[in-house]
Amino acid sequence: MSEDDASVGGSYESQGEATDGQRPTTAPVLVRDSTDTSSVAAEVDLSDTTLYLNRELSELSFHERVLNEAFDERNPLFERVKFLSILTTNLDEFFMKRVGGLKQQIVADVTELSPDGRTPREQWTLVLERARDLLDQQTACFEQLVRPALADAGIEIVAYEQLSSDEQQALRDYFETAVLPTLTPLTFDPAHPFPFISNLSLSLAVRTREHDDARTKFSRVKVPGNRPQLVSVSAHTGDGSTAPDASTRFVPLARIIEHNLDLLFPNVELIDTSLFRVTRNAEIRRNEEVAEGLIAMIEDVLHQRRFATVVRLEVESDTPSEVRDLLVEQLNLDDNEVFEREIPMDFTGLTTLFDLDRPELEVEPWHPQPHPRFTGLSADDPDALFTEIARKDVLVHHPYHSFTGTVGTFLQAAANDPRVLAIKATIYRTAPDSEVIETLIEAAKNGTQVAVMVELKARFDEENNLRWVRRLEEEGIHVAYGTIGLKAHTKTALVVREEGDGVQLYSHVSTGNYHSQTAKHYTDLGLFTADPDIGHDLVRLFNFFTGHSRHDTYRKLLVAPTNLREEMTRLVRREADHARAGREARIVAKMNAIEDPKMVRELYEASMSGVDIDLVVRGICRLRPGIEGISETISVSSVVGRFLEHSRIFYFHNDGDPEYYVGSADWMVRNLDRRVEAIAPVEDPSLRVELEAVLDALQSDNRRRWTMDSEGRYEQLRPPNDDDKREAHRTLMDRALAESERVRNEQHES
């Protein structure tokens, strides 16, 4: 999940032109909006659709930047392979969610225009065209650049026909013993209905004919996803070891199956075989208001998703027309939804290569560092840990700081502290073997009151979260499943502790999930504080989760959908007021996406008033920067690299009395209006310095940063030479290492 530049057959710097589908801006139309009470430098029609980029095409621009990391020869070879895999995962989700949603709107005859003035069908057509080009570029990158580079490194992915007869026999033996028993051919004929094709599964379309019958039969054979998708030749022709060696050849599993189908279909004529892959819609919705129970509703959604409408069919380019036509007819597809591909269609299978011991092909390993404030603290001494947080707020930054050594230690200390009365936490996504959940269960067993908000509607994590809900309830823990009409997207935890002077509240407000694995790869910030106002705000928030009433006011937290939109709007407008009064005015906002048209309009108005605005937006951005008279003072950049930029930081200059905020919400309609979010102020001056350092590192990056122009095109910055290279992730890694070294030296001296 990242982004960058350079390609085969065309530069990714061209991604805002005609092929992008974005509409160029026109001269602003001067009008006066009688409903707008704000005073702007020059009033224009800010409802003009040409001022807003398309949400779907903007997301595909992000995926192009992800693909560029695979094209970029400056990256280690396995890192390039990783980004090919990431692009497959990203586009699979894009088709399941976004293309699926557009298709639903088309079927329902929705004619409402998007903020950029397009119907669902217009968007669907443009998206399929753009995605087709992107998938073609992925294949070209692999075939023309990555595959030859792998071969140069002694790692070959070869055709089955290139193997010697002895090697073919060895793989046939492997197929017969380890693969064949897992296969289940499903035939389509007058006696058998067309087989169900599961979502994202790779399948072989096999046409056969009985020797005494001229009729052709179609069968589907699923390539098992629980076997390695690349099979090492040497592992099965040498000493019998199943561990691939460092200089070897691989054959795609699908090709091994294809060339040994006579064992699956004996005594028939094999006419032809071809690979295909199906993607189904994930936009299955149910009315929560009338659902008998939320758990039952989620289980129904998961069931229906298995059989949902197909939104994409990928087929091999040489697939016989009869097979293609049969699949299109039976899956009820439009020809536009058929994508001709070469193998591999699913690049996630290439991750088999990472089992090879080839450190020279990998990115330099990163080990999250101890946080200076947590150094010397442990879960076995909760008094020391909570005293340290009470002394001064703590800001942690993952993956530069260890998740286990900070968040894990905090929760573990609370779980085993007899003075802790209650622990409350929100779980949106968490690891399948979550240590966080196990810690909460341990706390309950120790007699602590534990309440957990588990969001069952977290897309693609519903099944995992259902398992945790059942486990938590079995342990007698208070579990809330979600709220009607809203997703609980907050990343918050609260510890209630009895101390000598009463009850103290310890809060953790984060930009990321309580997920120990993603914390190693996603950049996220977390604020630990004993601020009583934030603590009481979290008490109110958790009472909303487990009760039924929503609080209208909060002391310090900005909470969606209660006051977050209102407060963010107020903060933006305050900067505009400062600018109009001739005072210095500046906004810096870092987030995953800016999609909400109302917030885009507020930023346009602030820019027209003279506010300097720097936006660091990883993915979707509706806003057009640099439009004369409208957004001249706005810059938009996107940083892509080894870590996924996931943190949200908001800075408002406020005439020299700045305010900083961190939290879970982007500026998207769903975050501001349809999710429960929490953003906290960062008030400690030293922590503000840390946030400023993060923003400076991102905005100084000249290696991984892309800048957007007013047409929605992105261009990657490039350092003049290696000595001048500034890479944000490297800068922050070095900063964390220096902090750890400083603490170690201080401890040694003491």
Out of 489, 508, 515, 729, the active site residue is 489
- pLDDT value at 42 more than 80: no
Structural domain count, the chain: 4
362 occurs within a structural domain: no
Answer yes or no: are the C-beta atoms of 250 and 155 closer than 8 Å.
Answer: yes
641 occurs within a structural domain: yes
- State the pLDDT at residue 295: 53
In angstroms, rounded to a whole number, what is the distance separating the alpha carbons of residues 12 and 9? 10
Judgement on whether residues 499 and 622 belong to the same structural domain of the protein: no
- State the pLDDT at residue 723: 86
**CATH number of the domain within which 337 lies:** 3.30.1840.10
Peptide bond into 228 cis (omega under 30): no
In this predicted model, which residue has the larger pLDDT, 12 or 411? 411
Burial 526-535 (b: 16+ CB within 10 A, else e): bbbbbbeebb
In this predicted model, which residue has the larger pLDDT, 641 or 483? 641
592 occurs within a structural domain: yes
Residues 6+ apart with CB under 8 A from 292: none
Q: Tell me the whole-structure pTM to 2 decimals.
A: 0.90
Mean pLDDT of 589-614: 98
- pLDDT value at 357 more than 90: yes
- State the pLDDT at residue 428: 84
- pLDDT value at 339 more than 70: yes
pLDDT digits (tens, 9 = 90+) for 396-421: 999 999 999 999 999 999 999 999 99
- State the pLDDT at residue 247: 53
5 occurs within a structural domain: no
Judgement on whether residues 283 and 331 belong to the same structural domain of the protein: yes
Judgement on whether residues 490 and 619 belong to the same structural domain of the protein: no
Judgement on whether residues 565 and 602 belong to the same structural domain of the protein: yes
- State the pLDDT at residue 299: 56
Q: Packing angle between helix 100-107 and helix 120-141, nearest 10 degrees?
A: 150
Among all chains, which residue has been given the structure tokens 């120990």?
Answer: 516
Let me know the angle formed at the C-alpha of 55 by 49 and 58, rounded to the nearest 5 degrees: 110
- State the pLDDT at residue 457: 66
**408: which DSSP letter?**
I
Least confident of 30-34, 36-40, 676-680: 30-34
Boundary residue ending a domain (113, 148, 183): 148
Judgement on whether residues 423 and 549 belong to the same structural domain of the protein: yes
pLDDT digits (tens, 9 = 90+) for 470-489: 888 888 888 887 677 788 89
Alpha helices (H) in 205-339, listed in sequence order: 234-237, 253-258, 294-306, 321-330
- pLDDT value at 529 more than 70: yes
Beta bridge mates, 493: 425, 508
Judgement on whether residues 131 and 168 belong to the same structural domain of the protein: no
In angstroms, rounded to a whole number, what is the distance separating the alpha carbons of residues 131 and 121? 15
- State the pLDDT at residue 548: 65
Distance of CA 436 to the CA centre of its chain: 21
Judgement on whether residues 296 and 421 belong to the same structural domain of the protein: no
Instruction: Give the torsion sign (CA, 417, 418, 420, 423).
Output: positive
**What does the mean pLDDT of the chain come to?**
89
In this predicted model, which residue has the larger pLDDT, 294 or 709? 709
Judgement on whether residues 113 and 186 belong to the same structural domain of the protein: no
Mean pLDDT of 529-544: 96
- Does residue 397 have an active-site annotation? no
Boundary residue ending a domain (148, 167, 198): 148
In this predicted model, which residue has the larger pLDDT, 78 or 26? 78
pLDDT digits (tens, 9 = 90+) for 52-85: 999 999 999 999 999 999 999 999 999 999 999 9
Least confident of 2-6, 544-548, 576-580: 2-6
Domain extent, residue 61, equals 12-148
pLDDT digits (tens, 9 = 90+) for 149-207: 999 999 999 999 999 999 999 999 999 999 999 999 999 977 788 988 999 999 999 99
- pLDDT value at 242 more than 90: no
Answer yes or no: are the C-beta atoms of 677 and 537 closer than 8 Å.
Answer: no
- pLDDT value at 720 more than 50: yes
292 occurs within a structural domain: yes
Judgement on whether residues 505 and 528 belong to the same structural domain of the protein: yes
Least confident of 46-50, 171-175, 213-217: 213-217
**CATH number of the domain within which 714 lies:** 3.30.870.10
Judgement on whether residues 539 and 619 belong to the same structural domain of the protein: no
406 occurs within a structural domain: yes
Among all chains, which residue has been given the structure tokens 């150094």?
Answer: 375
Residue 78 token pair? 């396995």
Confidence of residue 50 (pLDDT cuts 50, 70, 90): very high
- State the pLDDT at residue 308: 72
Confidence of residue 681 (pLDDT cuts 50, 70, 90): very high
Boundary residue ending a domain (148, 180, 196): 148
363 occurs within a structural domain: no
Judgement on whether residues 658 and 618 belong to the same structural domain of the protein: yes
368 occurs within a structural domain: no
Judgement on whether residues 576 and 597 belong to the same structural domain of the protein: yes
Q: Kindly state the percentage of the chain with pLDDT values over 70.
A: 88
**CATH number of the domain within which 90 lies:** 1.20.58.310
